[in-house]
Amino acid sequence: MPLDRKLVVEFIGTFFLVFTIGMAVNSAGQLAPLAIGAVLMVMVFAGGHVSGAHYNPAVSTAILVRGKMRPDEYVPYVIVQVVAAIVAAVVIIALGYDFDDAAELAGAGKMLIVEFLFTFGLAWVVLNVATAQGTEGNSFYGLAIGFTVAAGAFAVGGVSGAAFNPAVAVGGMVMGLLEFKDIWIYLLANLAGGAAAGFVFLYTQPGEKSLGDTRAAEPADRAADRAARRADRAD
């Protein structure tokens, strides 16, 4: 799939995610996490077959570490995700639904912890339901990803704003929902959470590396032996 087509899909998905966050926080009250999780779910289903439906630099980081993303596509993905978030925030401002006051959140330490944990959880779910051979072809991946974000928003929305996504954080800051001074928290916690999920995924499922082993939890050395035997038989 050409990169430009993937980037269009990433823009659309990230835009609707951030736009829904801004509008739902304004109008849906305590049910906003359901709207946010739902729009992420449908956008994942809509774009997963084209771009992988990351819509999140932290998820792109996890997939890069996992080895399912070309390194030269990583930066374009992240740039488009952030740009889409900013555009969505600008549309919210133009409609008059921006925020006069940023959300009152916990201190930096608590924000770092919960943002790291739920970003790890989100990336972990994405890797296992959307990239693992053991779940290949499933029809629930979008639901699992969307509900992870909804659960996280219900659980820690009042602690950190429940971004779990540096692009969402930037969009939230542009529309006035979050404070720019906290950008380092989201960048550090979200990108570290995504990377950690990628490394843990490969550690727990070494057969998912480039060996192409269908039994994902099998030790890598045993998988290599089986791959070599198959190659010998093919010869």
Stretch(es) of the chain classified as CATH 1.20.1080.10:
3-204
- What pLDDT sits at residue 176? 97
**Mean of per-residue pLDDT scores for the chain:** 91
Secondary structure class of 145 (helix, strand, coil) = helix
CATH 1.20.1080.10 is held by the domain 3-204? yes
| Two structure tokens written together for 200 | 């843990």
pTM: 0.88
pLDDT of 125-149, one tens digit each? 999 999 998 898 899 999 999 999 9
Q: Where are the beta strands (DSSP E) in 115-209?
A: none
CB 85 within 8 A of CB 43: no
Quick one: average pLDDT of 224-235?
56
* 48-70 tens-digit pLDDT: 999 999 999 999 999 999 999 99
Q: pLDDT at position 1, please?
A: 82
Q: How far is residue 17's CA from residue 165's CA, in Å, rounded to a whole number?
A: 11
- Which amino acid is it at 234? A
pLDDT per position as a tens digit, 171-182: 999 999 999 999
Residue type, 20: T
What pLDDT, on the 0 to 100 scale, is given for residue 203?
95
